[in-house]
A and B are shown apart, each in its own frame.
Chain A
Amino acid sequence: MIDIISQSLTQLINNIKDKKVSSEEVTKSFIQRAEKSKKLNCYIAEDFENAINKAKKFDNKPNYDSKLPGIPIAVKDLFCTKNVKTTAGSKILSNFVPTYESTVTQNMWNEGAILLGKLNCDEFAMGSSNETSFFGNVQSPIDKNLVPGGSSGGSASAVAGQLTPITIGTDTGGSIRQPASFTGIVGLKPTYGSCSRYGIVAFASSLDQAGPMAQNVKDCALLQEVISTYDPKDSTSIDFKRSHYSKKLTNNIKGKKIGIPKEYRVDGMPKEIEDLWQKGINHVKECGAETIDISLPHTSYALPAYYIVAPAEASSNLARYDGVKYGFRVKGENLIDMYEKTRSEGFGAEVQRRIMIGTYVLSSGYYDAYYLKAQKVRKLIKNDFDEAYKKVDAILTPSTPSSAFKIGEKTNDPVSMYLNDIFTVPVNLAGLPGISIPAGHDSRGYPLGLQIIGKAFDEQNILNIAFAMEEKINFKNKITDWWIK
């Protein structure tokens, strides 16, 4: 008998195509696993009954030519899904059921995939530990009371904990790569404009990108191939020639030039991260690539710039949640009173903090000093990368400055929480693709990730490098099923 839940996406697809398993069997296996895994709190909304019906329908009339034939997939609850509750992890959308489907999820269903349900995340994707969700903390399958990272925490836990064969998250400042790193999985943040933002609850429009989170690089490449399409419904979607990422995947990276940016050796970085990075450098060399020391001089300004730009856009993007048209409402004496009560009760503390920061930096008299300056910094960061890419094909860095932390450890220290994104944020600011792959464990046995940053639209190249490194690293995630026992 095939152990369905421990299979990779690619294996599952082959087994379904070979008729060794049915979509229904696969779907039921992941549902059973989910039923046993409530402690992880991965799901905000389950759509299991529909999923089984869709699987049966697939089995009756299978289309094996599709890329995700009958594959059940749970997705981050930031993607609007038709007739399935979509909350963005917030009380203010806790009763919201869209009548429409996001382009990215639609692309998956068009290729035969089946929705399992909606995965927990930080409220409006604002967080690095999944602790800001209105629907509670998500436990990491790595260890009890460990955060899975954020904001795509539910997604990361669901893949690492084998509740879904693969998933999609969104990444505004590291929300795919950091939780992937914390839970020992692969996470890709595509080039800005690669995946449509249509139907994704917006956090910071100029930074948000959807991307795959998978058990391995090949699965990741396949899902990226499915979700990345040009979409005229998103004005920032870019019409470029997309590669057949999975078909063209190769471990031959001979002669590739990999940049090692000195600015990523930050003060106080644990030695085990240093060592991991060195190990990664050795691996790419073993694969025949060349490493080159480079400089990204404005790196230290990335985080402050990000925490101006992202909240600024968020403060405006979240203005629509006002209790007037849909979602949660608290009655008030008058319009203003209703707004204040609705938004005070409907948004959590972190979201309110960022709305206030964003409102402040856009205020007249402060706009030039904060928002405009941050945009200039952003340009400088982009220039740093452009300059570097004259010499190198990709850049190798750690994904995060530390491994996962305990639930509650950083909730009262937002700045320390924000520092989690220090290596991932510059990539979003520059609109580049970045992938995190599991590369080792810390002394406690918690996973650690390495990040490969590529040129814009060069997802194929970083997937190839990741693929080659994956072989060398031969990472094994230590999942003990602690939550089931």
Chain B
Amino acid sequence: MSKKNSEYLINRKNNQYEVVIGLEVHAQVLSESKLFSSSATKFGAEPNTQVSLVDAAFPGMLPVINEFCVKQAIKTGIGLNAKINKRSVFDRKNYFYADLPQGYQISQFKDPIVGEGKVILDMPDGQKEVGIERLHLEQDAGKSIHDIDPQNTFVDLNRSGVALMEIVSKPDLRSPDEVSSYIKKLRSIMRYLGTCDGNMQEGSLRADVNVSVRAKGSKKFGTRCEIKNVNSIKFMQMAIEYEANRQVDLIEEGKSIDQETRLFDTKRNETRSMRSKEDAHDYRYFPDPDLLPLEVSDKFISELKKNIPELPDEKKKRFIDEFKLSPYEATILVSDIDTAKYFEEVVAKMGKNKDIKLAVNWITGELFAILNNKNLEISQSPVSSKNLAILVNLIKNGTISGKIAKTVFELMLDGDKDPQKIVEEKGLKQQSDPKAIEALIDKIINDNREKAIEYKQGKEKLFGFFVGQAMKASGGKANPQLINEILKKKLQ
């Protein structure tokens, strides 16, 4: 588990600094309705169309816990190898804001639903374990819109009351790359579990990033700053880089770091102070008297455990064992549930005489390139797993060459065409009749008699010339292996 090579350090004159990062990830629970009301949670709905009397905090309205959201949180806890707390408590976090209708957010403060756990990261130089401090359930606030009207702020309460899981890591992360890997892993686990769609553009996953620095080798944590509400991995990495350097500069100048909350300005690529520790809110947390402590039985938890799907770490292990994939290949294929699903479908559809390695190459090569190019998710792939399996089989059984396969693949993109049909229609079937190839080669040698003599005299480079001529004469369809064999024989 050595990780010396990729150690992320900030160098100044004679000093080296280590960066310490902890994340508070806010993941929207995948649920049709909100945490304490039956309002819908669909993204992108017209403002204030998914708001109940409870969400808008009308007098006398009371929260009622959504059991599904509780299950989702527990499932996520199981996925994080975490302790599930059979008793947890909802607290009120009190503060005034126009998009917080109740004047408090219902959250979990002292007794969260999920306790300590861990996540394994696959870094280029080995695995790294990141501790999870806790996971708790809480309500989202509404949205204040400041840019529609110069005088007024508009409030959209569609998000008010939507269930969030706040996943707090231990300060175990040491570089922007680890942060990226951590977020991707969390996202992957939750997508496997179906507990969060992980869609960062829609705000389903965002994070508060805690950053501090310390001299390399020091055991004491430095003063941390919290960068609020960063909503993309790229921005998290940029913010950490900026913030860590800012803190190091302060130390180098002999100044101290103030514990404060900061904002990341994505346009200027810098963090700015939002409020200092002195101005920190006093949230006056206390147990919400409208809700009883949340108690779940062992049976409730074990039922959920029973239905946990295979998660990325297990799947990776199985891919290595069962399909003889390299750890690298397996990591790539399991990182996203849809990719893993696609791959397994291809494997299943290839039948008995399958070349898994070849399938992996096609998925991670041609297919990924196309998806990347067209900015598509694998779930939107223009080539179905079934047709990709057929294509790989066509290569494997010698019907087409790898080179022809690329042409076929291009043609498949338009409407997910059956590669078998393409091969037939376009007459792309590989020529594997030795007699025909022999005739073809005889003619080429005959036409290039001088070159054949040169070759025989030792100019071995010319072999490639003959192969090229043969391929050209066959319109690219001749079986390259046969060409090689026959040419060698004829040019002896």
Contacts and interface: CB of A to CB of B under 8 A. Distances in A.
B92 A316 contact: yes
Given A197-B62, A320-B101, A324-B98, A235 B282 contact: no
Contacts of B292: 235-236
Interface string A325-360: 110000000010001000000000000000000010
A335 B153 CA distance: 9
B59 A198 contact: no
A429 interface: no
Interface in B115-153: 153
Given A235-B65, A316-B284, A339-B96, A204 B289 contact: yes
Nearest to B93: A316
A137 interface: no
Nearest to A309: B289
Given A235-B292, A362-B284, A322 B103 contact: yes
Interface stretch (A18-26, A43-51, A92-100, A442-450): A92-100
A205 B102 CA distance: 14
A326 B60 contact: no
A6 interface: no
A204 B288 CA distance: 11
Nearest to A207: B289
Interface in B280-306: 282, 284-286, 289-292
A205 B97 CA distance: 22
B420 interface: no
Contact of B290 (A96, A205, A322, A335): A205
B57 A320 contact: yes
A57 interface: no
B59 A93 contact: yes
Given A198-B62, A324-B155, A236 B94 contact: no
Contacts of A86: 59
A316 B283 CA distance: 11
Nearest to A78: B60
Given A205-B289, A235-B291, A316 B103 contact: yes
A12 interface: no
A363 interface: yes
Interface residues of B, number: 30
Given A198-B62, A363-B282, A319 B98 contact: no
B104 A316 contact: yes
A200 interface: yes
Given A322-B103, A324-B101, A335-B98, A316 B286 contact: yes
A389 interface: no
B486 interface: no
B56 interface: yes
Contacts of A325: 56-58, 101
Contacts of A315: 94, 284
A255 interface: no
A319 B102 contact: yes
A364 interface: yes
Contacts, number: 96
A194 to B, nearest CB: 15
B284 A359 contact: yes
B63 interface: yes
A363 B284 contact: yes
Contacts of B155: 324
Interface in A77-122: 79-80, 86, 88, 93, 96, 98-100, 102
A102 B61 CA distance: 9
B286 A367 contact: yes
B64 interface: yes
Contacts of A202: 59-60, 290
A319 B59 contact: no
Given A235-B63, A316-B94, A320-B103, A206 B289 contact: yes
B288 to A, nearest CB: 8
B289 A233 contact: no
B167 to A, nearest CB: 24
B291 A96 contact: no
Contact of B102 (A204, A232, A320): A320
B59 A96 contact: yes
Contacts of A138: none
B220 to A, nearest CB: 26
A322 B98 CA distance: 8
B53 interface: yes
A319 B286 contact: no
B286 A312 contact: yes
A232 B64 contact: yes
A362 B285 CA distance: 7
Contacts of B153: 335
A93 B60 CA distance: 12
Contact of B60 (A199, A362, A364): A199
A364 B59 contact: no
B290 A236 contact: yes
A234 interface: yes
Given A325-B101, A363-B284, A235 B290 contact: yes
A232 B285 CA distance: 26
Contacts of B284: 315-316, 359, 362-364, 367
B106 to A, nearest CB: 11
Contacts of B282: 363-364
A79 B282 CA distance: 32
Nearest to B95: A319
Given A205-B289, A235-B292, A364-B282, A320 B98 contact: no
B289 A100 contact: no
Contacts of B63: 235
B109 to A, nearest CB: 11
Given A235-B65, A335-B98, A80 B60 contact: yes
A98 B58 CA distance: 8
Given A100-B53, A205-B290, A363-B282, A88 B59 contact: yes
A102 B60 contact: yes
A371 interface: yes
A422 interface: no
A313 interface: yes
A233 B286 CA distance: 22
15 contacts: A100-B58, A199-B60, A201-B60, A204-B289, A233-B64, A234-B62, A235-B64, A235-B290, A236-B289, A320-B102, A325-B58, A362-B284, A364-B282, A364-B284, A367-B284
Interface of A: 79-80, 86, 88, 93, 96, 98-100, 102, 197-202, 204-206, 232-236, 312-313, 315-316, 318-320, 322, 324-326, 335, 339, 359, 362-364, 367, 371
**CB-based closest 8 A-B pairs:** A319-B103, A205-B289, A362-B284, A206-B289, A199-B60, A320-B57, A201-B59, A80-B60
